[in-house]
DNA sequence: CACACTTA
DNA sequence: TAAGTGTGG
């Protein structure tokens, strides 16, 4: 589930976005896997059943991707999605851990359904949700039809996003996870792909969720550490490459330790008999120099209405009226915020 | 999560 | 205009 830096981010390093239009004209690289997974888990009936077409194929991820992307475009934000490639070898333990969680949740889901506990069923359905290759494939196809660029990462999407933002080809990365900060993304937007109101788990209370920007430079300044040291902190708390972290060390102690001992060598000496599934040096190296591709281009194109209709209405039984309305909004947003601004003089005279 | 519609 | 409800696929 990524690195949990939540309790370490000082208020001063965060900037709450009151209105998405504040990001007008900015290019944002969205972690596609993270976004799709969120839609897949969130867009469900009360008992946990996802949206499905007449052939029983799940469509929750497509619904979320479609409408949310249009929303983002209407606010003048230029989205690009990045998708994970082959997970690195050092992630094996985390992947196995997730598989186990899904498996257990799947059993509990069936049980909950049997005893008629709708709320529990929903929770376990969310936990057992798996994003398949087919779902990702469908999502890419839909993005193509919408004219939205997507990038295939070599390995970690968050690493690729960080690279693109670092190079200045985009303004920020967007994900619920903090990993892109460790990979060096200068700016991370959280809560971009979730709506304004969200139900607190297990409570019948709704809270306002607003997008927020975390600036890496400010974060490091406020914490008084370097990016390398932030990676050490993550290592102590737990990352995808050592999911259990170090026993007995939470965010607070981790930061203390890193500030006290400063170098990885000394930090490791301060926590003797700690075992790591992967050598810590190797994990640090991966965050500092992950495999990325330089072969990408960010280009927005005119949406192709008939292709969109083909995918959503014909293949997946979306309501034609709803899709038509949404495409109208999409085309309008494209013309207002994207085409006009990326047209050079050349296009004007042709 | 988001749309479409209702309610006040 | 804001918030509540039912439903989407």
Name the average pLDDT for chain A.
94
Was A244 annotated as part of a binding site? no
Instruction: Find the Å distance, CA of residue A272 to C1' of nucleotide C2.
Output: 57
Q: Which nucleotide is nearest to A197 (CA to C1')?
A: B1
- Per-residue confidence (pLDDT) for residue A349, from 0 to 100: 53
Answer whether CATH 3.40.50.720 is correct for domain A1-223.
no
- Up-side HSE of residue A276: CA atoms within 13 Å toward CB? 22
Within 10 angstroms of residue A245's Cβ, the number of other Cβ atoms is: 20
At A313-349, the pLDDT tens digits run 999 999 999 999 999 999 999 999 999 876 655 554 5
- Per-residue confidence (pLDDT) for residue A178, from 0 to 100: 98
- Per-residue confidence (pLDDT) for residue A206, from 0 to 100: 65
Q: List per-block mean pLDDT (blocks of 10 residues) for chain A, which spans 350 residues.
A: 94 93 96 97 94 98 98 97 98 97 96 92 96 98 98 98 98 98 98 74 67 97 98 98 96 98 97 94 98 98 98 98 97 94 57
- Per-residue confidence (pLDDT) for residue A193, from 0 to 100: 85
Where in chain A is CATH 1.10.150.20?
Answer: 225-289
Contact between the CB of A296 and strand B at under 7 Å: no
Q: Which nucleotide is nearest to A317 (CA to C1')?
A: C9
Contact between the CB of A325 and strand C at under 7 Å: no
Which phi-psi region, left, alpha or beta, contains residue A24 (left: φ > 0; alpha: ψ -120 to 50)?
A: beta
Annotate A195-260 with DSSP letters as a single string: -SEEEPTTSS-EEE---EEEEHHHHHHHHT--HHHHHHHHHHH-BTTBTT-STT--HHHHHHHHHH
Q: What share of chain A is helix, strand, coil (3-state, %, to 5)?
A: 55, 10, 35
Contact between the CB of A63 and strand C at under 7 Å: yes
Give strand B nucleotides closer than 7 A to any protein Cβ: 1-4
- Per-residue confidence (pLDDT) for residue A48, from 0 to 100: 93
Where in chain A is CATH 3.40.50.1010?
Answer: 1-223
Was A84 annotated as part of a binding site? yes
Was A158 annotated as part of a binding site? yes
Contact between the CB of A69 and strand B at under 7 Å: no
- Per-residue confidence (pLDDT) for residue A207, from 0 to 100: 75
Write down the CATH number for the domain with range A225-289.
Answer: 1.10.150.20
- Per-residue confidence (pLDDT) for residue A132, from 0 to 100: 98
- Per-residue confidence (pLDDT) for residue A191, from 0 to 100: 95
- Per-residue confidence (pLDDT) for residue A223, from 0 to 100: 98
Instruction: Find the Å distance, CA of residue A202 to C1' of nucleotide C3.
Output: 22
């Amino acid at each position: 589930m990524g690195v949990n830096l939540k309790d370490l981010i000082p208020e001063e390093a965060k900037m709450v976005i009151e209105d998405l239009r504040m990001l007008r004209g900015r290019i944002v690289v969205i972690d596609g896997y993270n976004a799709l997974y969120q839609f897949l888990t969130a867009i469900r009936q009360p008992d946990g059943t996802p949206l499905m077409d007449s052939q029983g194929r799940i469509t929750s991820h497509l619904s979320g991707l479609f409408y949310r992307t249009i929303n983002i475009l209407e606010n003048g934000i230029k989205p690009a999605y990045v998708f994970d490639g082959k997970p690195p070898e050092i992630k094996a333990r985390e992947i196995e851990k997730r598989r186990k969680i899904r498996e257990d949740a799947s059993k509990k889901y069936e049980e909950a359904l049997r005893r008629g506990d709708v709320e529990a069923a929903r929770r376990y359905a969310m936990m057992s949700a798996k994003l398949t290759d087919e779902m990702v494939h469908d999502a890419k196809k839909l993005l193509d039809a919408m004219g939205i660029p997507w990038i295939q990462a070599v390995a970690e999407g968050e690493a690729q996003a960080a690279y693109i933002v670092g190079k200045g080809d985009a303004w920020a990365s967007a994900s619920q996870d903090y990993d892109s900060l460790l990979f060096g993304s200068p700016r991370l937007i959280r809560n971009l792909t979730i709506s304004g109101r969200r139900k607190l788990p297990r409570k019948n209370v709704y809270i306002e969720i607003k997008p927020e920007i975390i600036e890496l430079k400010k974060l490091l300044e406020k914490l008084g550490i370097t990016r390398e040291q932030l990676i050490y902190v993550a290592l102590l708390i737990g990352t995808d490459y050592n999911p259990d972290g170090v026993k007995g060390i939470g965010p607070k102690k981790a930061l203390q330790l890193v500030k006290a001992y400063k170098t990885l060598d000394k930090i490791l000496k301060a926590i003797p008999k700690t075992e790591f599934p992967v050598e810590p040096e190797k994990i640090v190296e991966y965050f500092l120099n992950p495999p990325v591709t330089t072969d990408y281009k960010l280009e927005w194109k005119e949406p192709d209405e008939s292709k969109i209709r083909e995918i959503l209405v014909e293949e997946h039984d979306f309501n034609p009226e709803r899709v038509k309305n949404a495409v109208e909004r999409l085309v309008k947003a494209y013309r207002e915020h994207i085409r006009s601004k990326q047209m050079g003089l050349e296009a004007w005279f042709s």
